[in-house]
Amino acid sequence: MSKTPEQPSIKSRTLTLTHDIPISRTKIYWDSLKEGKVYATKCKNCSQTYYPPQPDCPNCLTSNMEWIQISEGTIETFTQAHLKPQGFTHYEQNYIIAIAKTLEGVNVIGWLEETDIKNVKVGMPVEITAKIMPDGFPTIILKLKQTYT
């Protein structure tokens, strides 16, 4: 068995990438995050709900959508970030990310407002809110509605 020779390479500089995200058709969503509210879209034709919100229904191809606020759910899964990805390295504490299934049947990922992972269990009810973080970016916040006993 022959070994593949290592290809010569050099390290590039560290790259930082930012880009403008078009939001003209989801501006309601982004504006509502500043007010602490999270919205999904629901098709008025087939009743399918979408999160992240979709301006058009992929199911029946209509643009006849309405905005619905999503505010409650239960934890489907969660993890604690010990190694932070680029853009989050300025957060000193290890934060908990969770996915909540809403009453409307969509999944929402967000920061769990709880720092001790021992207090978190799948199935716990959460309130779904949003806030502007100290770095200026809007973030979905999941608040436990009960304490683990």
Q: Which two tokens stand for residue 135?
A: 């770095």
Stretch that binds Zn ion, among 15-23, 25-33, 37-45, 106-114 (CB under 5 A): 37-45
Cβ neighbours around 9 below 10 Å, total: 6
Q: Which two tokens stand for residue 107?
A: 């999944």
Judged by CB under 5 A, the residue of 35, 52, 59, 103 near Zn ion is 59
> Would you count residue 40 as binding Zn ion (CB under 5 A)?
no
> Would you count residue 43 as binding Zn ion (CB under 5 A)?
yes
Q: How far is the CB of 59 from Zn ion (least distance, A)?
A: 4
* Number of residues engaging Zn ion in binding (CB under 5 A): 7
Q: How far is the CB of 60 from Zn ion (least distance, A)?
A: 3
> Would you count residue 46 as binding Zn ion (CB under 5 A)?
yes
In the complex, the residues that contact Zn ion under the rule CB under 5 A are: 43, 45-46, 48, 57, 59-60
